[in-house]
Structure 1
Amino acid sequence: MPTGLDKIILILTIAGFIIGLSGNVFIGLVNCSEWVKNRKVSLADFIITCLAISRISNLLVSMSSSWILELSPHLSTIYEVAKSTFMLWRITNHLTTWLATCLSIFYFLKIAHFSHSVFLWLKWRMNRVVLALLVFSSFSLIFDFLLLKPFTNRSLNTYKTDESNLTLHKISYIKNLTLLSLNYFVPLALSLTSLLLLFLSLMRHTRNLQLNSVGAGDPTTEAHRRAMKMVMSFLFLFIIHFLCTEVAMWVCFIFSNNEYIKFVMLTFYLFPSGHSFILIVGNKRLRQTALRILWHLKSHLQR
């Protein structure tokens, strides 16, 4: 029987899942309808749509894992179920992380202003740079997938081996876990660098507008301040997502108790849910569509 704490965790999990799913489904539907209507799509909209689809998949896998841990914990001990769930979550999480990285680099090259020759060279080849990152992420996914199968086998068999082989299994597990963690440092470093440089560029531009006697309520100044808040919000969520992903991997290794894993898995819904609404607020078309839908809902409820 689920305890009171299990019920609270399950309610929070369902809430995070519904919020994240609604935001990402909304982004996917709006962008796909625009794609069909205009018969063309920009690179930014293509990345955002792919990001929404990968996050929907990631949320479904995370929800399934939480459901198994809460309501049917005996299924988590079945080898095939645990292996399939972990590999699906890792692959969807990999795609989500890299697509978010490509999106952050795209916005950095498009919005930021620097006079350095390297930045100008990258800015002139912005689409090629982002496409090259997408191709590199595919090769990185292949490398990740090659590590996943032996890593999953060792992680699931670590506590089923005898004492003489337990140390060897743990050492092998730590080696593979370290390689998987290092593979995640690449998108993290790229995202941190691009977002921090974008924030510095926006802050410098906002300060120049204020020094040029542009009013604090000027639309340009307010737009830059809103952009800075969005950049920092995304940066904060991305760091939390990365840390929680790594903590979850090590918690599974150190603790065999599912209670610790349940708390860590709650944080998996922060990034796909929070960032989707940041994208909606920051994108003019998505924001206007969301406001129209809310206005129609409000009118319908009033009637």
Structure 2
Amino acid sequence: MVPNQVTTFSIILYVLESLVILIQSGTTVAALCREWMNFQRLSPVEMILISLGMSHFCLQWASMLYNFGTISRPALVFWKISVIWEFMNFLTFWLTSLLSVFYCVKVSSFTHPVFHWLRWKILKLVPWLILGTLIASCLSIIPSVVKYHIQIELITLDHLPRNSSLIIRLKMFDQYFSNPLKMIGFGAPFLVFLVSIILLTISLVRHWEQMKELNTNDSSMKAQSTVLKSLATFFIFFTSYFLTIVVSFIGTVFDKKSWFWVCEAVIYGLVCIHYTSLMMSNPTLKKVLTMQF
């Protein structure tokens, strides 16, 4: 049982983290929209980042509305908000994996024909890939919609015996259909992210070793080392975020038990740090952060 002081501290920390994420995502969207109005163009990375900013903004609002709304009312009253939260999570995962794929294609030094073709096409493909992440997120959310409809149906059938064949079928459908497909929905973009990061790391390490053999100047070696450290930070925090989300779904999601607010504070603390690393990777956003803070 978590002490009340820890729960109170976790709630306060969660609220502060939520405010920081809302400010971060709002700043991202505002800065990149201003960039687009000034120069009438956005780079592919900025297109992905502005999409990530909007998804994080909506994700955090949905999280706050659901978490605080269900304190006074039953969770099923807010099931539509929880579906929005899950949709935004799926979208965030897919957009982050898309960003890792873009960096892998543009930065890696692989000479395979597939990489040559992708480098040639990636700039034109990014808008379509962003649309693809929206479609993939919509497909991934179907099990959750079905799950909540089943739960509502079970409440309406509460007058039937607990061993009713209809109730048993609905529960089995929920258990063996919704949760496994939900895990696939989160696992697929994370697998894409993982493969991209591994390939990019291999390419950068090879390049770093070549520079070391050729006795390249210290500034180039230092820059390469900085890139590898940034990549490691990006990987660690996004992987930690993925694992905490998976753990929360393996257990009872949105269950108001003693550890709930502690888990929420940990999850959105990781989101906050991960999003900060994303912002610092973009020159425009890094400039805005430096000027503001």
Tell me which interval the TM-score lies in, with the shorter structure as reference length. Answer: 0.7 to 0.9
Rounded Cα–Cα distance in structure 1 between residues aligned with 2:30 and 2:17: 20
What is the aligned counterpart of 1:189 among 191, 199, 205?
191
What displacement does 1:194 show? 0.4
Q: Which amino acid aligns with 2:292?
A: I
| Cross-structure match for 2:257 | 258
Rounded Cα–Cα distance in structure 2 between residues aligned with 1:167 and 1:152: 16
Deviations 1:69-106 (A, max 9, x none): 5xxx231x15322x122111011111111111111111
C-alpha contact (below 8 Å) 1:251/1:261 kept by paired residues: no
User: CA 1:271/1:9 → structure 2, altered by over 3 Å: closer, same or farther?
Assistant: closer
| Cross-structure match for 1:230 | 230
The answer to whether structure 1 residue 144 and structure 2 residue 140 are counterparts is yes
Rounded Cα–Cα distance in structure 1 between residues aligned with 2:243 and 2:81: 20
C-alpha contact (below 8 Å) 2:17/2:272 kept by paired residues: yes
The answer to whether structure 1 residue 30 and structure 2 residue 31 are counterparts is yes
| Cross-structure match for 1:202 | 204
C-alpha contact (below 8 Å) 2:29/2:54 kept by paired residues: yes
Rounded Cα–Cα distance in structure 2 between residues aligned with 1:94 and 1:142: 9
Rounded Cα–Cα distance in structure 2 between residues aligned with 1:78 and 1:102: 33
User: CA 1:127/1:271 → structure 2, altered by over 3 Å: closer, same or farther?
Assistant: farther
Q: Secondary structure at the match of 1:41?
A: coil
Q: Could you tell me the TM-score, scaled by structure 1's length?
A: 0.84
Rounded Cα–Cα distance in structure 2 between residues aligned with 1:54 and 1:170: 32
Rounded Cα–Cα distance in structure 2 between residues aligned with 1:256 and 1:65: 12
What is the aligned counterpart of 1:85 among 77, 81, 87?
81
| Cross-structure match for 1:179 | 181
Structure number with the bigger relative contact order (C-alpha 8 A, sep ≥ 6) is: 2
Rounded Cα–Cα distance in structure 1 between residues aligned with 2:75 and 2:187: 31
| Cross-structure match for 2:287 | 288
What displacement does 1:64 show? 2.2
C-alpha contact (below 8 Å) 1:237/1:270 kept by paired residues: no
| Cross-structure match for 2:62 | 61
User: CA 1:134/1:289 → structure 2, altered by over 3 Å: closer, same or farther?
Assistant: closer
C-alpha contact (below 8 Å) 1:112/1:201 kept by paired residues: yes
Rounded Cα–Cα distance in structure 1 between residues aligned with 2:154 and 2:233: 38
The answer to whether structure 1 residue 214 and structure 2 residue 216 are counterparts is yes
What displacement does 1:228 show? 1.3
User: CA 1:86/1:289 → structure 2, altered by over 3 Å: closer, same or farther?
Assistant: closer
| Cross-structure match for 2:118 | 122
Q: Which amino acid aligns with 1:224?
A: Q
Q: Could you tell me the TM-score, scaled by structure 2's length?
A: 0.87
Rounded Cα–Cα distance in structure 2 between residues aligned with 1:15 and 1:38: 34
C-alpha contact (below 8 Å) 2:110/2:203 kept by paired residues: yes
C-alpha contact (below 8 Å) 1:44/1:103 kept by paired residues: yes
Deviations 1:3-43 (A, max 9, x none): 42331111110121122222222222211111111111111
Rounded Cα–Cα distance in structure 1 between residues aligned with 2:114 and 2:49: 26
Rounded Cα–Cα distance in structure 2 between residues aligned with 1:8 and 1:201: 43
Rounded Cα–Cα distance in structure 1 between residues aligned with 2:292 and 2:10: 31
Q: Secondary structure at the match of 1:114?
A: coil
Rounded Cα–Cα distance in structure 2 between residues aligned with 1:156 and 1:252: 17
Rounded Cα–Cα distance in structure 2 between residues aligned with 1:157 and 1:222: 60
| Cross-structure match for 2:99 | 103
Q: Which amino acid aligns with 1:91?
A: F
**Uncovered stretches (5+) of structure 2, i.e. residues with no partner:** none
User: CA 1:257/1:32 → structure 2, altered by over 3 Å: closer, same or farther?
Assistant: closer
Aligned ranges 1:12-23 → 2 under 5 Å: 12-23=13-24
Rounded Cα–Cα distance in structure 2 between residues aligned with 1:281 and 1:142: 30
Aligned length: 285
User: CA 1:155/1:9 → structure 2, altered by over 3 Å: closer, same or farther?
Assistant: farther
| Cross-structure match for 1:74 | 72
Q: Which amino acid aligns with 1:17?
A: S
Q: Secondary structure at the match of 2:252?
A: helix
